[in-house]
């Protein structure tokens, strides 16, 4: 065989990857539609079509030609003849190829079809509070994932193989260390808050708050913090999510409660953080498959930053409280301080997505423990509801009265996402690190927010995170952005400071 | 090379065609989204992705392996060893392959990208009434189509090559004959109507008719005539359309005017006719690529049947008038007769989609004449606005005051659909033929409609048309359904009878 030149190999890969990126956009649209628009009986045919597109991607990436071309780039990178995006592209493709070629196409197709059907099954089971209707699907998903993990191989705990999918390099060892420190710090903080005896009224409750007015307010908030409606949409779905089809087409969803303004708002701002990241990904890196987030943990750092650091801050409410009141005259007289404090009420509760910042990571820890045991095979799917209740008692001292408020509350497992939940805690950790760095670079940050000037935040995050796409693995990206390796202490400092303000600790 | 067995060839083709069908479903969803949901700046990236999927389809169908497999089936069919769907599949694939392989992939991709971008360009140009903003796009589209026609080759008029895409076997010679007879019959009927001097009040005008109430009424009508919302959606778009992604996922759109109930209603029922056809296509024929309409003319026969034969009939309004009044109390007192007559008012007007049944085919004739000249090269795109006005004067004696009401009114050219418009007239012709046959088989049809029983119509059309998919070319399908070859006389008889009733001719 003639020796391939790196230039030829790169050209061929760019052509193939552009095609794969476009097929990926079709798959993203199909997935968005499955969660928002599809008529109920359309789901099975759609799942088959999604599986076909997935199988096609599998075939393209496991093609020996692709492999040989990537090997040429890898060699050139080792010799120092290749650097920058093409060299990084080889790293990212190599990981993906090695993962895919260990999974036979038909198993991969089956997983794609199963998980495309999954949300509809979960939605019905949750609506009827029947875990038994969801269990067979979840059993097959967990079975396939355990098979994949064995095929991939792993060092240490088998769950490491799944963590690596969402956060390259992340391990159970690192997470155990992180969660141990967080559990200790957060449990102690929670105890101090509860000992303070302070009751904070929920200024967002009451209503009825008509949906159209809520949406108008959300659009105002999302635009202010940097979301472009010329390049995106806001819709509703059972579980809020963001789909970045392309930086010019990014769609987020929320859901509304007519008696609770916080419900739609904080979902939408969380998704808004994801969406702003997606809208600012570097288009020029698309052919290199690097027009994507650095990891899901980094992705969650953007959503948790928007939702918590920004939209649960006092300056945010100084600016937005009068605007909220303008949309809902029945709130007249409520002060920014009241909204700020209501947004930061701490209470043991069942639903992760509505949890306060202090207990939130305990919810994540619960899922992390269950997922590890599911993948290790020491916990069966049918045992999940009881295991959930037991862990909830241990971590938060409460027990959900129904599975809807327990094991059935999250959509992720129905999408086949096991190993994802730790991303939320990583997101919180990274967001706190980013805030400290941001405040060093923009010391008058909060004065700017107070008057509705969100530009300095957006431009700092764009420069340090968004436009970096997938050029670096998360630890390197974070170090470049903040000057140091990320750890749990910044998050604990941030929460201590905020709770001191809210609860006067 | 080893001789391929028909069984092996068929198996391989079925596998490949299933993949192509799934890719086609992705393309359909992308096209639906382009017209309904996509954020404005998302269009160019989407157009590139659509073009990639189109190019992929081109590559799969022009693959020599596909060609060889189809040849094996063709030979087996000639020898009588193969019949039914597999034999028909070979016929349909052969046509498509022969057409595709004469177009280089890059030209095909360019056409797909151009026409995916097209609607957004048309929509802006129409909104601002600036034909000059649309002309460059249309020039490139017409240029590419003229190139394709030359590459394909044709007998007789070059426009025949495009007609054949939408209606296999249709020719300028056949259309000239058909239109000549229709022009004569319709012009004479129009003259008699105008001489009658009768003025019919427009019972659908007034309002304001809130959009939500209109939509509720539309949903009631669509469900009654056979559309399933479990397998479909109703949305809004600049130009109403139907997208059948799969029989379990069929989406139609309409648009609303708050002062005119007929505007949304007749668009929705027209699209409903298309949509019911799509929902009843035979799923078992999907792998044979025969889960599709017999032709676009047959497709339009279903929409025009629903819109005109059914929803502009007196029995339809006997059933629906009280229901309409229930949604709009301001209409209280209006009789079924008033709605029936208003739905059949005849008047020379500018907009085809709102035209009455008598003048409608003259609008189609206008486009047919212009398209023939465009493809023959005897008319330039820049000359279109003036040519449009001149033809309008000749055919209808009126001249649109703006291009919005003239040459810019239709979306089809922006989608690259030249050769499509005659389908509407064929649809009218076929619908009248189907009505005559249906009345022979179900003599109490109108008594059933009068009490809201649409089942006999639906089941007859399902059996004779919908579930036949693409098993037969249109003339054969129609002959099997009606017992005779279709011609213009049934349509003229139908219109004479209706106008006699409405105008007392």
Residue A52 touches chain B, beta carbons under 8 Å: yes
- B230 contact residues in A (CB cutoff 8 A): 39-41
Closest CA of chain A from B248, distance in Å: 5
CB B335 within 8 A of CB B367: no
Question: What are residue B242's phi and psi, to 5 degrees?
Answer: -125, 135
Contact with chain B for residue A44, Cβ under 8 A:
yes
Per DSSP, the three-state class of B250 is strand
Instruction: Give me the CATH code for the B173-503 domain, please.
Output: 1.10.1370.30
β-bridge pairing B249-254 and B232-236:
parallel
Mutate which of B14, B17, B21, B22 to test chain A, going by most A C-beta atoms within 10 A? B22
User: Rg of the Cα trace of chain A?
Assistant: 23
Q: Where are the alpha helices (DSSP H) in B79-128?
A: 84-101, 105-127
pLDDT at position A4: 82
Distance from the Cα of A181 to chain B's closest Cα (Å) equals: 44
Q: What pLDDT score was predicted for residue B505?
A: 87
Which of B30, B52, B230 is the closest to A29 by Cβ? B30
Residue with tokens 């997606």: A278
Residue A157, marked binder = no
Any A CB within 8 A of B333 CB: no
With CA atoms as reference, the chain A residue closest to B49 would be A22
- Is A231 within 8 Å of chain B by CB? yes
- For testing the chain A interface, which of B236, B248, B251 should be mutated: the one with the most A CBs within 10 Å? B248
Buried b (16+ CB within 10 A) or exposed e, A252-280: bbbbbbeebbbbbbbbbbbbbbbbbbbbb
> Is position A128 annotated in a ligand binding site?
no
According to DSSP, residue A204 is labeled T
Nearest CB among B22, B46, B231 relative to A42 is that of B231
Cα A378–chain centre separation: 27
Measured at the alpha carbon of residue A272, what is the angle toward residues A370 and A297, in degrees to the nearest 5?
A: 40
Residue A494 confidence (pLDDT) above 70: yes
Please give, rounded to a whole number of angstroms, the shortest distance from the CA of A417 to a CA of chain B. 23
A25 in B contact zone (CB under 8 Å):
yes
For B73-131, strand residue ranges (E) read: none
E strand spans, B88-153: none
Q: Which of A38, A46, A231 sits opposite B42 (nearest CB)?
A: A231
Predicted pLDDT of residue B2: 55
Q: What is the mean pLDDT of chain A?
A: 97
Q: Hey, is the C-beta of B26 within 8 angstroms of any chain A C-beta?
A: yes
B124 to each of B43, B129, B136, B408, how far by Cα in Å? 13, 8, 14, 10
Domain ranges for chain A, please list them.
Answer: 6-153, 173-503
Ramachandran category for residue A206: left, alpha or beta (phi over 0 → left; psi -120 to 50 → alpha): left
CA distance B41 to chain A (A): 5
CB of A188 within 8 Å of any CB in chain B?
no
Q: Write the CB contacts of B408 (distance below 8 Å, at least 6 apart in sequence).
A: B122, B125, B126, B129, B131, B134
If you measure CA to CA, which chain A residue comes closest to B283?
A: A45
d(CA B399, CA B405): 9
Please tell me the number of Cα atoms within 13 Å of B251 on its side-chain side. Answer: 23
As a whole number of angstroms, the distance between CA B236 and CA B234 comes to 7
Q: Which of B30, B38, B249 sits opposite A39 (nearest CB)?
A: B249
Instruction: Tell me if chain A has a CB within 8 Å of the CB of B15.
Output: no
Q: Which residues of A touch B45 (CB under 8 A)?
A: 25, 246-249
Q: Is B284 annotated as a binding residue?
A: no
Q: Which chain A residues contact residue B56 at CB under 8 A?
A: 19, 23
Catalytic residue from among B113, B119, B167, B271 = B271
Contacts of B294 (CB under 8 A, 6+ apart): B465, B468, B469, B470, B471, B472, B473, B474, B477
Instruction: Choose the closest CB to B52 out of A22, A44, A246.
Output: A22
Which tokens go with B376?
Answer: 């023959």
d(CA A12, CA A5) in angstroms, rounded, equals 11
A228 at the B interface (CB within 8 A)?
yes
Instruction: Find the distance separating the first CA and the last CA of chain A, reported in whole Å.
Output: 72
Q: How far is CA A13 from CA A17, A72, B53, B58, B246, in A?
A: 6, 11, 18, 20, 33
Question: Tens of pLDDT along B101-138?
Answer: 999 999 999 999 999 999 999 999 999 999 999 999 99
Over 60: is that where the pLDDT of A300 sits? yes
DSSP class per residue in A11-32:
HHHHHHHHHHHHHHHHHHHHHH
Maximum pairwise Cα distance, chain A: 79
* pLDDT score of B4: 82
Instruction: Specify the pLDDT at position A60.
Output: 94
B505 reaches A (C-beta below 8 A): no
Min distance A61 CA to chain B CA atoms (Å): 16
Write the pLDDT tens digit of every residue in A313-331.
999 999 999 999 999 999 9
Contact A248/B42, CB-based, under 8 Å? yes
Has B283 been annotated as catalytic? no
Report chain B residues whose CB lies below 8 A from the CB of A27: 26
Closest-CA residue of chain A to B233: A39
* Strands B232-236 vs A249-254: parallel, antiparallel or unpaired: unpaired
Partner-chain contact A22 B48, CB within 8 Å: yes
CA distances to A22, A127, B34, B98, B289 from B54, rounded to whole Å, are 11, 40, 15, 16, 16
- Whether residue A123 contacts residue A91, with contact meaning beta carbons closer than 8 Å, is answered with no
CB contact A14 to B (< 8 Å): no
Task: Output the pLDDT for position A96.
Answer: 96
Q: What does each of the 505 residues of chain B score in pLDDT, given as a tens digit?
A: 456 899 999 999 999 999 999 999 999 999 999 999 999 999 999 999 999 999 999 999 999 999 999 999 999 999 999 999 999 999 999 999 999 999 999 999 999 999 999 999 999 999 999 999 999 999 999 999 999 999 999 999 999 999 999 999 999 999 999 999 999 999 999 999 999 999 999 999 998 999 999 999 999 999 999 999 999 999 999 899 999 999 999 999 999 999 999 999 999 999 999 999 999 999 999 989 999 999 999 999 999 999 999 999 999 999 999 999 999 999 999 999 999 999 999 999 999 999 999 999 999 999 999 999 999 999 999 999 999 999 999 999 999 999 999 999 999 999 999 999 999 999 999 999 999 999 999 999 999 999 999 999 999 999 999 999 999 999 999 999 999 999 999 999 999 999 999 999 8
The verdict on A26 touching B (C-beta cutoff 8 Å) is yes
Distance of CA A160 to the CA centre of its chain: 18
Quote the pLDDT of residue A2. Answer: 55
Distance (Å, whole) CA A234 – CA A256: 12
pLDDT score recorded for residue A505: 87
Interface contact B26-A53, CB threshold 8 A: yes
Q: Is A45 on the interface with B (CB under 8 A)?
A: yes
Q: Which residues of A touch B232 (CB under 8 A)?
A: 39
- Band (pLDDT 50/70/90 cuts) for residue A41 is very high
Nearest to B47 by CA among B35, B60, B59: B35
**Closest partner CB to B230 (pick from A18, A37, A39):** A39
B379 at A interface, C-beta within 8 A: no
Beta carbons of B249 and A40 less than 8 Å apart = no
Whether the predicted pLDDT of A1 surpasses 70? no
pLDDT of residue A207: 87
Chain A residues within an 8 Å CB radius of B246: 42, 45-46, 49
Is the Cβ pair B33, A38 closer than 8 Å?
no
**Of A436, A180, A465, A495, whose CA–CA distance to A301 is shortest?**
A465
CB distance B254 to B271 below 8 Å: yes
CATH architecture of A6-153: Up-down Bundle (1.20)
Interface touch A246/B46, C-beta < 8 Å: yes
Nearest CB among B18, B22, B46 relative to A53 is that of: B22
Chain A residues whose CB is inside 8 A of the B39 CB are: 229-233, 248-249
Question: B19 near B74, Cβ under 8 Å?
Answer: no
Contact (CB<8Å) A52/B27:
no
**Which one is catalytic: A271, A278, A371, A391?**
A271
CA neighbor of B407 nearest in space, from B374, B359, B358: B374
Query: Which ipTM did the prediction report?
Result: 0.95
**What does the pLDDT look like over B403-437, one tens digit per residue?**
999 999 999 999 999 999 999 999 999 999 999 99
- DSSP state, residue B418: -
A282: phi then psi, degrees, rounded to nearest 5: -75, 110
Say how far apart CA A131 and CA A404 lie, in whole Å: 8
Tell whether A59 is within 8 A of chain B (Cβ).
no
What is the per-residue pLDDT for B262?
96
Mean pLDDT computed over A217-222:
98
What is the C-alpha to C-alpha distance for residues B351 and B361, in angstroms, rounded to an integer? 12
How many contacts does A have with B, using Cβ atoms within 8 A? 102
């Amino acid at each position: 065989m003639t020796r391939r030149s790196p230039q030829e190999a790169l050209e061929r890969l760019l052509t193939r990857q552009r095609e794969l990126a476009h097929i990926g956009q079709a798959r993203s649209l199909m997935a968005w539609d499955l969660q928002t628009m599809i008529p109920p009986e359309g789901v099975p045919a759609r799942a088959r079509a999604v599986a076909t597109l997935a199988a096609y991607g599998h075939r393209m990436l496991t093609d020996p030609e692709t492999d040989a071309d990537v090997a040429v780039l890898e060699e050139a990178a080792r010799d120092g003849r290749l650097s920058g995006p093409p060299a990084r592209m080889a790293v990212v493709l190599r990981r993906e190829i090695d993962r895919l070629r260990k999974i036979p196409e038909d198993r991969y197709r089956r997983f794609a079809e199963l998980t495309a059907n999954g949300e509809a099954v979960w939605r019905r089971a949750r609506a009827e509070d029947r875990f038994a209707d969801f269990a067979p699907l979840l059993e097959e998903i967990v079975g396939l994932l355990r098979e994949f993990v064995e095929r991939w191989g792993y060092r240490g705990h088998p769950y490491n193989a799944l963590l690596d999918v969402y956060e390259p390099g992340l391990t159970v060892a690192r997470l155990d260390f992180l969660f141990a420190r967080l559990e200790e710090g957060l449990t102690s903080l929670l105890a101090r808050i509860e000992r303070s005896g302070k009751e904070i009224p929920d200024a967002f409750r009451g209503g009825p708050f008509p949906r159209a007015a809520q949406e108008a307010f959300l659009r105002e908030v999302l635009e202010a913090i940097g979301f472009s409606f010329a390049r995106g949409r806001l819709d509703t779905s059972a579980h809020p999510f963001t789909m970045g089809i392309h930086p010019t087409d990014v769609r987020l969803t929320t859901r509304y409660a007519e008696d609770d303004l916080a419900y739609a708002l904080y979902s939408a701002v969380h998704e808004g953080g994801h969406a702003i990241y997606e809208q600012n990904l570097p288009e020029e890196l698309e052919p290199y498959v690097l027009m994507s987030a650095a990891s899901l943990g980094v992705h969650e750092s953007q959503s948790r930053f928007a939702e918590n650091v920004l939209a649960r801050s006092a300056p945010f409410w100084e600016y937005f409280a009068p605007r909220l009141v303008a949309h809902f005259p029945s709130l007249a007289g409520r002060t920014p301080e009241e909204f700020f404090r209501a947004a930061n009420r701490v209470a043991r509760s069942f639903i992760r997505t509505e949890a306060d910042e202090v207990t939130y990571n305990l919810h994540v820890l619960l899922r992390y423990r269950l997922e590890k045991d599911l993948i290790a095979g020491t916990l069966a799917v049918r045992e999940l509801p009881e295991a959930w209740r037991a862990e909830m008692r241990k971590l938060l001292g409460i027990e959900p009265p129904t599975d809807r408020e327990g094991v059935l509350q999250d959509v992720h497992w129905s999408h086949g996402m096991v190993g994802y939940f730790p991303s939320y805690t990583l997101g919180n950790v990274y967001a706190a690190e980013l805030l400290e760095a941001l405040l060093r670079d923009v010391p008058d940050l909060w004065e700017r927010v107070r008057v509705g000037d969100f530009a300095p935040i957006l431009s700092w995050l764009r420069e340090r995170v968004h436009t970096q796409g997938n050029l670096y693995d998360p630890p390197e990206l974070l170090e470049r952005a903040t000057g140091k390796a990320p750890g749990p202490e910044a998050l604990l400092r941030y929460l201590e400071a905020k709770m001191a303000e809210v609860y006067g600790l």
